[in-house]
Amino acid sequence: MQVKMKNEPIVVVVDITLGDQEKAMLLLESLLIIPEGCSCKYLIQLGQRRLLPELQEQLVRFLGEKNAIIAFALPKIEFPQEFIDQETAKSYTPHRIPLSIKKNWFARNLVLLKSILELEEFVYLSPEAVILQYEWLAKLQALSQDQSMPVQGQRRKLRFKDEIISCGWSADGWFSGQALRRLPLIHTFQYRQANPWYRMSPPGYSWQPSFCLSQEWLSAFDMPLGYVIFALYFKEITGQGNPLVWDSHCREQIDFVRLNRPDEAAEQHQEVVVDKNLLIMNEVGPPFAARKRLRDWYIKQTCKLSEESGQANLKGTSLSLSGPKYNLIGRNERKLTLEDLHNMFSGERCFIIGNGPSLNNTELHKLKNEYTIGLNRIYLNFEKMGFQTTFLCVANPNVLKQFGKDIDQINSVKFLRYHHEYIRNRWNVFFMEHTGFHEFIKDLRGFKWCEGCTVTYCAMQVAYFLGFKTIILVGVDHNFPDKGTPHQLVSAKPVDTNHFHPDYFAKGVKWQYPDLAGSEVSYRVANSEFSRAGRVILDATVDGSLDVFPKCDFDMLFGNEGYISNVR
């Protein structure tokens, strides 16, 4: 096996020509945050299909942050019409593989063939790949040098006469193009040959999970290329066509990839169990493990960065998000898009929690089973409240710049001003661009909102977009003891009396004087838009100075006492 030059980057082929686009998005996001441990270059293979806007955005970000290029060209090998005619003429059998599946296999096989023909060695990743370890690429490359096989990944297996035997390799893994070019691979894209497994199969028997081996032919048209490579390689080195002989030559090979089948897939709330030898998981079915693993990576990265900077972890970040017992956000373990969130909570109510001193006189623990939208540094109150807010809005770039590491640790679904360089934890984070002066943006799918002189106005637009019918304000005091020119940037005093916590803007922190008059203009616009849509904003702030919205007693909003208690 050729040993790679130390400083020569290894090529990672990311094939998103086919497959689930959410999985492709999760894979790219994982590759952005998980260190490879060695120098590498990414080759993103695209097909002819239209990519979802979210995947396009992720791809642009990936190309900007990684050493990566896009490729479209593939070997000029046509899908054999003769094979299509044979398949069309074939009578139906229970184990017949649909032509559409074979076409997908053929397309992916072309990407793998291209990589084998052009590269000395490479790692292939499909959208189903889930990265499991830090420095995964360096470990995979080192392990590949210690093995004699031309492919390092997962051996595909089947049961034969009560014995488990190897029958192929998964696509995800490390490949030696130099070794595999000695095999007659191109021939298998043009001609069929007898499948050595087929003659060993009892009539009507399906080779599960490798059901493609129950077919009559072996070719790049009839099965994934990993099975073809396996057969060609072991036939060459053993000089025999008996698959049972091949198995004895690879029994000692260590699997670095694992196939995760639908019936084995981790539920969204379960841990992803990882064997120490496994570097990649190949997930079939819904991307439960991919979502869970990506979220875990973000949490690990956030804690690691906090430890490196000597910053203590925030209190209250282990608390659950607020919300009804059964709700669509839950523990924020599902990867969301703005399309998903649009009108998700139609007809429900939510609380926008401001940051005024009146929060200290408000029994916020009552909101644990309510949907809540927190603002800026509300997380300083999480431990006292007993929950994390369902959502978090931050509009001021000074807050993001100075407290980005805090915000990274919060589990809320986040809507943040577009200063992504300060945020590392991108799990369900939506970066918004500011537009207009007092315009009320109802549809946020364009990633734009109007700040209207206050982050509370942003939260109102978020609440409208999410579909909430009734919005209740708490802690929106609209009264700051410290007076100054609106929007002027100043350094905070030793003790903050403008907010609920004395360290909200501690000594030396940069902050801006509020624009109360400008905020009122925005609030009146919001009040009008909600009223026009048959919705309502109520103000339950204790002793608040804002008089734009109808007032209500906070304590009367719960149980059977209040006139709004059952509005949802």
Comparing 8 with 311, the larger pLDDT belongs to: 8
Q: Which residues contact 131 (CB under 8 A, 6 or more apart)?
A: 27, 30, 31, 34, 279, 280, 293
Instruction: Identify whether residues 355 and 290 lie together within a single domain.
Output: no
Instruction: Identify whether residues 287 and 319 lie together within a single domain.
Output: no
Radius of gyration of the chain, Cα coordinates, nearest whole angstrom: 29
Say if pTM beats, i.e. exceeds, 0.95. Answer: no
**Percent of the chain with pLDDT strictly greater than 90:** 52
Instruction: Identify whether residues 408 and 445 lie together within a single domain.
Output: yes
In a domain, 496, yes or no: no
Q: Is the pLDDT of residue 314 over 90?
A: no
Q: According to the model, what pLDDT value does residue 258 have?
A: 67
In a domain, 498, yes or no: no
**CATH number for the domain harbouring residue 84:** 3.90.550
The lowest-confidence range among 104-113, 190-199, 366-375, 451-460 is 190-199
Q: What is the mean pLDDT of the chain?
A: 86
In a domain, 202, yes or no: no
- Distance in angstroms (rounded) separating the CA atoms of residues 302 and 409: 6
Given CA atoms 541, 542, 546, 551 in this order, what sign does their dihedral have? Answer: positive
Instruction: Identify whether residues 111 and 60 lie together within a single domain.
Output: yes
- Distance in angstroms (rounded) separating the CA atoms of residues 162 and 175: 31
Instruction: Identify whether residues 277 and 322 lie together within a single domain.
Output: no
In a domain, 506, yes or no: no
**CATH number for the domain harbouring residue 393:** 3.90.1480
As for how many domains the chain has, the answer is 2
Among candidate residues 70, 59, 66, 72, the one with its CA nearest the CA of residue 28: 59
In a domain, 245, yes or no: no
Q: Which residues contact 217 (CB under 8 A, 6 or more apart)?
A: 192, 193, 194, 195, 198
Let me know: does 170 contact 284? Beta carbons within 8 Å: no
| Mean pLDDT for the stretch of residues 372-392 | 96
- Distance in angstroms (rounded) separating the CA atoms of residues 446 and 443: 7
Q: Which residue has the tokens 């909102």?
A: 449
In a domain, 290, yes or no: yes
In a domain, 239, yes or no: no
pLDDT one-digit tens code per residue, 156-188: 887 777 778 888 888 899 999 999 999 999 999
Q: According to the model, what pLDDT value does residue 565 have?
A: 42
Instruction: Identify whether residues 366 and 263 lie together within a single domain.
Output: no
- Distance in angstroms (rounded) separating the CA atoms of residues 215 and 207: 9
Q: According to the model, what pLDDT value does residue 288 have?
A: 78
Instruction: Identify whether residues 399 and 435 lie together within a single domain.
Output: yes
The DSSP secondary structure of 77-128, one letter per residue, reads -PPPHHHHHHHHHSPP-TTPPPHHHHHHHHHHHHHHHHHHHH-SEEEEE-TT
Q: How confident is the model at residue 449 (pLDDT cuts 50, 70, 90)?
A: very high
- Distance in angstroms (rounded) separating the CA atoms of residues 22 and 58: 11
Q: How confident is the model at residue 92 (pLDDT cuts 50, 70, 90)?
A: low
Let me know: does 510 contact 398? Beta carbons within 8 Å: yes
Instruction: Identify whether residues 287 and 352 lie together within a single domain.
Output: no
In a domain, 211, yes or no: no
| Mean pLDDT for the stretch of residues 495-520 | 87
pLDDT one-digit tens code per residue, 406-435: 999 999 999 999 877 888 888 999 999 999
Q: State the residue range of the domain holding 462.
A: 314-483+516-557
